[in-house]
Amino acid sequence: MDFEFNELQISVQKMIKDFVDREIKPVAMEYELEDRYPTGIVEKMQELGFFGLTIPEEFGGGGMDEVCYAIAMEELSVGWMSVAGILGTHMMTSWMILHYGSDEQKKNYLPKMATGDWHSGMALSEPGSGSDSAALRTQGKKEEDQWVINGTKMWTSNAEHANMFCVLVRTDPELPKAKGISGILVHKGSPGFKVSRHLKKMGYRGLRTSELIFEDARVPLENLLGKENEGFPMIMSALEGGRINVAARSVGLARAAFEDSVKYAQQRETFGKPIAHHQLIQSKLSEMATRIHASKLMTYQAANLKSDNKRCDLEAGMAKLFASETAEFCASEAIQIHGGMGFIQELPVERYFRDCKLLTVGEGSNEIQRIIIARRLLERYPV
């Protein structure tokens, strides 16, 4: 099995790495500590076509595959994971429109999304349904030529700057809970819809994570995405890409923690020599590097399967689980290697530690990932 990137993927990786080194790393700490949205960075990302990376060329995008998507998530997260988050849900929504939207929806939405003139968000989780996605309670009912939506969504990334959202609602409460769910495209400014409070977070700062309120929100019937009551398989398929996204971000954050640690360990001296020459530090670095290497292989295997339109919920779940726990491990070890300097805000190491927890709970907590993985294994190996 060949895990080498092709020429296009290498060029994408180099372009994004150069962008991160030039535009993100020098200002990431300032923006993060102020919890300030990186408007200038986002505008430059638009100019370079980042928002249309995986949207087909016919709609004005780059037409690249999920491997390039994973590369983008990884490299951006080396610089600052929050920037990757601005792009992540946008790409998930565009993927759903591309694969499930009508011709009219593709024509109306994808060109604007490709240029980044329109940003999008995903509204799935609710106060009472996070990892149990099928337990959502937000209702969508038909009234004449409109959908009327009532309910609350939580933990919606980048809601402050999104122009539209894919909102998952229950359209038939009589059906079993995973059967009566539909996806509806809701524009900001729709009557009865508002972005409510912004949630205060320990990490993942610089972009807003928000609560959405729907009180008799009215949306045209043609904003239904895909088929009525068949939204749950649609979102589950999209979440395969979402978990590859989280896995790739995890690899990027783990790399940042590791690379900072290698440099620091060669500069910091104790007992007359650089700490990199102490066996305990060497053990930490070797363990970090080994876990990162394994995480990367798992992530890009899942991305390759997704690019080939093959089912990859097992592989994506495994990659998300292992890579996110690798990021958590590496962030913690980086603080140990940096000692007191890892605990203060003069270096980005403490930011990695705060950011990494999102990766183990987002896109389905790791406890849920283990259940999903086990179920798929039992399907694959029946008695």
CATH number of the domain enclosing 40: 1.10.540.10
Same domain flag for 376 and 277: yes
Q: In this structure, is residue 2 part of a structural domain?
A: no
CA-based angle 187:192:195, to the nearest 5?
A: 60
Residue 61 has pLDDT above 90, yes or no: yes
Q: What is the extent of the structural domain holding 49?
A: 7-119
**Pair 46, 141 in one domain:** no
Based on its alpha-carbon atoms, the radius of gyration of the chain, rounded to whole angstroms, reads 21
CA dihedral 9, 88, 101, 58 (to 10 degrees): -40
Q: Name the E strands within 30-84.
A: none
Q: Is residue 201 part of a domain?
A: yes
Residues 256 and 175 placed together within one structural domain of the fold: no
Q: How many CB atoms lie within 10 A of CB 320?
A: 34
Per the structure block, which two tokens stand in for 104?
């009219």
- Other C-beta atoms closer than 10 Å to the C-beta of 69 total 25
Residues 54 and 191 reside in one and the same domain: no
Other C-beta atoms lying within 10 Å of the C-beta of residue 56: 16
Work out the average pLDDT over 344-361. 96
Q: Is residue 285 domain-resident?
A: yes
User: pLDDT per residue over 84-109, tens digit each?
Assistant: 999 988 999 999 999 999 999 999 99
CB 358 within 8 A of CB 204: yes
144 and 98 in one domain?
no
Residue 261 lies in a domain: yes
Q: 185 and 321 share a domain?
A: no
Determine phi and psi for 59, rounding to 5 degrees.
-105, 15
* Continuous segment of H or E residues that includes residue 86: helix 81-100
- Claim to verify: residue 222 and residue 333 sit in the same structural domain: no
Cα–Cα dist 219/377, whole Å: 41
Q: Report d(CA 211, CA 196) in Å as an integer.
A: 5
Q: Are 23 and 196 in contact (CB under 8 A)?
A: no
Determine the number of helices (DSSP H) and then strands (DSSP E) in the chain. 11, 10
Same domain flag for 265 and 368: yes
Q: What is the pLDDT of residue 160?
A: 92
**In this structure, what CATH number is given to the domain that contains residue 153?**
2.40.110.10
Q: For 197-224, b where at least 16 C-beta lie within 10 A, e where not — what string? A: eeeebebbbbbbbbbbbbeebbbeeebb
> Do 289 and 159 share a structural domain?
no
Residues 178 and 292 grouped into a single domain: no
In a domain, 1, yes or no: no
Residue finishing a domain among 99, 119, 139 = 119
Q: Kindly indicate the confidence band of residue 362, based on its pLDDT and cuts at 50, 70 and 90.
A: confident
pLDDT at 282: 98
- Look up the CATH number of the domain holding residue 298: 1.20.140.10
In this prediction, residue 155 carries a pLDDT of 92
Question: In the predicted model, is pLDDT for residue 4 greater than 90?
Answer: no
Q: Which residues are catalytic?
A: 363
261 in the same domain as 199:
no
Supply the pLDDT for residue 79: 98
Q: Last residue of some domain: 119, 154, 177? A: 119
Bridge-based pairing of strands 181-187 and 269-270 is unpaired
Number of domains, the chain? 3
Asked, for residue 348, whether it belongs to a domain, the answer is yes
In sequence order, which residues have a C-beta less than 8 Å from that of residue 138 and are 6 or more positions away? 126, 149, 150, 151, 152, 153, 167, 168, 169, 170, 214
The tokens for 216 are 């008799």
- Residue 277, exposed/middle/buried by CB under 10 A (0-12, 13-18, 19+)? middle
Indicate if 312 and 252 belong to the same structural domain. yes
Select from 86, 119, 152 the last residue of a domain: 119
Q: Model pTM?
A: 0.95
Residue 1 has pLDDT above 60, yes or no: no
Q: pLDDT category, 178, cuts 50, 70, 90?
A: confident
pLDDT tens across 212-242, in order?
999 999 999 999 999 999 999 998 888 889 9
Distance (Å, whole) CA 121 – CA 162: 6
Structural domain includes residue 304: yes
Q: 134 pLDDT exceeds 60? A: yes
Which conformational region is residue 3 in: left (phi greater than 0), alpha (psi within -120 to 50 degrees), or beta?
alpha
Task: With respect to residue 300, please indicate whether it lies within any of the assigned structural domains.
Answer: yes
Average the pLDDT over 261-289 and give the result: 97
Tell me 381's DSSP state: S
- Answer yes or no: is pLDDT of 39 > 60: yes
